[in-house]
Amino acid sequence: PSEAEVSPPPPMPAPVATVVTEPAPPQAAPEPLLADAAPLTEPAPATSIALPPDDLPPAQWWIALIHTLVQTGRLTALARELAVQSELLARDAQTLRLRLNNQTLDNQSLRQKLASVLLAVGVTQRLDIAVGEAMSTPAAHATEQKNRQMDVARHIVENDPQVQMLQQRFGGQIVPGSI
């Protein structure tokens, strides 16, 4: 073959890069959100807390007590749900009478866990729980509080002079749910 007929050699494939990675350093286990929270399998520690004043109406007393127990990590998991979804109807030195919306939470195991937490902080020795329409629960109170905070935030944003100026100048709108 002549020189004109000789075809150039095929192109060489691009070199393959070898990537060497070092193993990632071991990560520490995440810290619990509540550092003083007791493990779920053990009863709450027998330490005192500041109990709500006795002169509060039952619903307010219960809401304040459960808030404190949750914030201090003494009341967790499903026992917490039982408490926050219950309304305190009456109380005396020996018994708390509660009403609960959610029948699923009304079981002996959860009652015992809640009772042991309450007893550990010196509140009562017996729970009397009836299933029915619970209105003044810690959960309902928390929802009302969040709604009030959202109304205040919405009012602040809607009445901010710079926000109003941007709305007028550019035809902007506040997107519902963005606050």
pLDDT in tens, 144-172: 889 899 989 888 998 999 988 888 888 88
Kindly compute the dihedral angle of the four CA atoms of residues 100, 106, 112, 117, in this order, to the nearest 10 degrees.
-40
In the block, residue with structure tokens 């299933």: 131
Q: How many CB atoms lie within 10 A of CB 65?
A: 24
Instruction: Tell me the percentage of the chain whose pLDDT exceeds 90.
Output: 28
Confidence (pTM): 0.60
**Residue 108: pLDDT above 80?**
yes
Pairing between β-strand 95-100 and β-strand 126-131 as defined by DSSP bridges: parallel
- CA-to-CA distance for 38 and 78, rounded, in angstroms? 14
In the block, residue with structure tokens 């963005």: 178
- Residue 3 DSSP one-character state: G
Q: Which residues pair with 96 in a beta bridge?
A: 91, 127
Torsion sign, CA atoms 110, 116, 122, 125? positive
Q: What is the tens place of the pLDDT at every residue in 45-59?
A: 455 788 888 889 989
